[in-house]
Amino acid sequence: MNAPSQTRLLTDQELARLDELLAAINPDESMLLEELDGFFAALACSPEPVSEDEYLPVVLGLEDREAAPADDTPDVAEIRRLLQKHRAAVSGQLFEGEGYSPVLGYDEDDQAHGNAWAVGFVRGMGMRPDAWAVVEEDEEVADALEPVFRLVEEVEPDGDREPEPIADDEREAAIESMLDGVMDIYDYFREQRERNLAPKEPIRRDPQKVGRNDPCPCGSGRKYKACHGADTTH
């Protein structure tokens, strides 16, 4: 029997509130929930960490990426809190490796398309393009990302090419392959990511020399020369 997940997902009410806040703070420019979910999945997989101050302007659709808003209004503070919680939820699901439940939008026929999620993932990759350059060299990563790029190409074709539509009977499989591929990518970069996230070893200095009349560092309260320094005194 599997242990219960330790990841705390946003409730439906929290997701609706986050969607409302994002739409209100920068209409037509801030990310939708589906795109945001894909974006955070890419940040979770990223070989190199991306800070909140870096990603927040992108999520909010601000032209100046250096202009992360300060927590000077209740709405911004609430957005930050909900974004932090959702990012942690996405990362936690991928870390646990028991399956990933994406936030997808559905049309009137109850059909998920997955395009916005894929676009968000690619935008997340763009936060650290050099670190993701391996996708052009490693066939394993390229194969895992192929469904992502296919769903992006459908809505954002390169150049003047007509978008290549995905048949309805293929879409569900394409989305499933995309999510399976993301799990593979997360594992592929796991060692590199953990190495980059590990705290740096502090610089060690030689211990300060203890004077003969100083208190003994053992904590006895006696002078060093009468305690642990006695055997060094001639």
CA–CA distance, 198 with 149 (Å, rounded to integer): 31
Query: Are residues 117 and 181 both part of a single domain?
Result: yes
Query: Are residues 77 and 125 both part of a single domain?
Result: yes
Query: Are residues 138 and 53 both part of a single domain?
Result: yes
Output the domain CATH number for residue 163: 1.20.120.740
Summarize the confidence of residues 81-88 as an average pLDDT.
95
Main-chain dihedrals φ then ψ at residue 111, nearest 5 degrees: -110, 125
Report the pLDDT value the prediction gives residue 217, as an integer from 0 to 100.
Answer: 36
Report the pLDDT value the prediction gives residue 150, as an integer from 0 to 100.
Answer: 92
Model pLDDT for residues 118-172, shown as the tens digit of each residue:
999 999 999 999 999 988 788 888 899 999 999 999 998 887 777 778 988 899 9
Query: Are residues 105 and 215 both part of a single domain?
Result: no
Query: Are residues 223 and 178 both part of a single domain?
Result: no
Report the pLDDT value the prediction gives residue 184, as an integer from 0 to 100.
Answer: 92
Helix, strand, coil share (%) of the chain residues, nearest 5: 55, 0, 45
Q: Which residues, in sequence order, are bridge partners of residue 189?
A: none
Query: Are residues 121 and 221 both part of a single domain?
Result: no
**Residues 6+ away with beta carbon under 8 Å from 198:** none
Percent of the chain with pLDDT over 90: 53
Residue the block writes with tokens 């763009």: 126
- pTM given for the model: 0.79
Range of the domain at 81: 12-197
CA within 13 Å, CB half, 212: 6
Q: How far is CA 155 from CA 44, 71, 95, 107, 138, in A?
A: 24, 35, 30, 16, 26
